[in-house]
Amino acid sequence: MDEKAMSAEYINGYIERARKAQAEFEKMSQEEVDNAVKIVGKVVYDNAEYLAEIAVEETGMGNVPDKIAKNKQKSRIVWNSLKGKKSRGILDTDEATGITRVAKPIGVAAAITPCTNPIVTPMSNAMFALKCGNAIIITPHHKSIKCSTETVNMINAELKKAGYPDNLIQIIDRHSRENTRNLISSADVVIATGGAGMVGAAYSSGRPALGVGAGNVQCIIDEGYDYKEAVPKIITGRTFDNGIICSGEQSVICPEKDYDEIMDEFKANGAYVVSSKDELEAVRNALFQDGKPNRHSVGQSCAKVAELAGIDIPDDTSIIVAEAEGTGLTDLLGGEKMAPVIAAYKYKDLDEGINIARENLEKDGKGHSVSFHSDSEEHIEKVAEELCVSRFVINQVSASSAGGSFYNGLAPTNTLGCGSWGHNSISENLDYKHLMNVSRIARYMPDNHVPTDEELWG
């Protein structure tokens, strides 16, 4: 048997087991389904420390304290969002239209998950899938097979104790491109969270696909806004988990008249500001190789980035601020940086600030997110009208808010759609409703008003 046939047979085994489990699971009540979803989140919450440690140990990216916080916070907020929401059977009836919506499972979901989020992305994808009565098969990044598999195994042990069907959640144990291709072409829906190659493969799989685009969050500080309030939030977001979160702030775009004071505030909060051409080039080379992220700097600390750059920084440096020499169209520093380094810009008026953000987004991250610190509703709406991203995070830490928060109305997720701008099918946060088929009962409404031609055309 050749390699392709072996792969097809191997993946067919996963699909068959998933379909058998899903057929049993979809017969369960809303209460039973919700309990399964709760178990998934609770396992990650209860084991946040251990799962954070093995994720950092295996991937070599990020840091344990932030991954602990992420494991606890994401499990809490995703479960809170899903708890009590109908996802099985009759959802609602619109009396005005006579339409009754009926929820149905999609079937078997396939999820491609990244090494940058090897615990909470499998967790949230599984929670969304199970919420709608589906089974799910996860194919993790090859750099995070062990920790992602351990997470799934721990969840499955608890699901088994609670009497749920075996194989509701499976994870591929032989990583190869062929296996991934076969999986995503055999499942009923594909969720792709990761690099552009995998997302592109998902969209060409011949199955409905939900992928995400690159992140390069542009952060604008409005003129007159309290920068002492904004700067600590921006630093928190850019440095979280050593800068590998796609929703983390990437550039700080400042009013020119306050620029020096804003840089001083960064320094007061532990920043090392890079402005000389030599040091800028050194940092640029540490972060990028041949225009792409340098794998040796991805998810590393400020100290490691400085070591790679060959520059000396204080031991207590919290963030490296690079005064970019141009937007992302001419300077790599305006693109996505997978480390605790932020690019700094100044603008004369808000229009110029918006244009800086626009050009950086043309390099990376179009469709993803913008962070704006402002007290002006007029300016907030102006920025939202001008820039092509799917979410605008106002006066918050983008890294922990763009993916949903207790303090905003965005759907909690680890998979952030970027719309057609990012070559994605959704321009919102992925959640359970994207893994649900909906049937509609259309009733005859004899009393509906039928307009005359005069009413229609005047």
Which is catalytic among the residues 246, 254, 302, 418? 246
Considering only CA atoms, which of 387, 383, 424, 417 is closest in space to residue 403? Answer: 417
Burial (CB < 10 A; 0-12, 13-18, 19+), residue 39, is buried
Burial (CB < 10 A; 0-12, 13-18, 19+), residue 440, is exposed
Instruction: Tell me which residue has tokens 């005047």.
Output: 458
b/e map 259-268, b = 16+ CB within 10 Å: beebbebbee
Residues 6+ apart with CB under 8 A from 9: 1
Considering only CA atoms, which of 70, 44, 238, 233 is closest in space to residue 156? Answer: 44
DSSP-derived secondary structure letter, 434: G
132 is catalytic: no
Q: How far apart are CA 365 and CA 349, in angstroms?
A: 23
| The Cα angle at residue 369 between residues 363 and 375, in degrees rounded to 5 | 120
Alpha-carbon torsion angle 240, 245, 248, 251, nearest 10:
110
Residue 441: CB atoms within 10 A of its CB come to: 11
Q: Could you tell me whether strands 319-323 and 341-347 are parallel, antiparallel, or unpaired per DSSP bridges?
A: parallel
Q: How far apart are CA 363 and CA 416, in angstroms?
A: 18
42: three-class secondary structure by DSSP: helix
b/e map 273-292, b = 16+ CB within 10 Å: ebeeeebbebbbebbbeeee
Side chain identity at residue 271, one-letter code: A
Known catalytic residues are 246
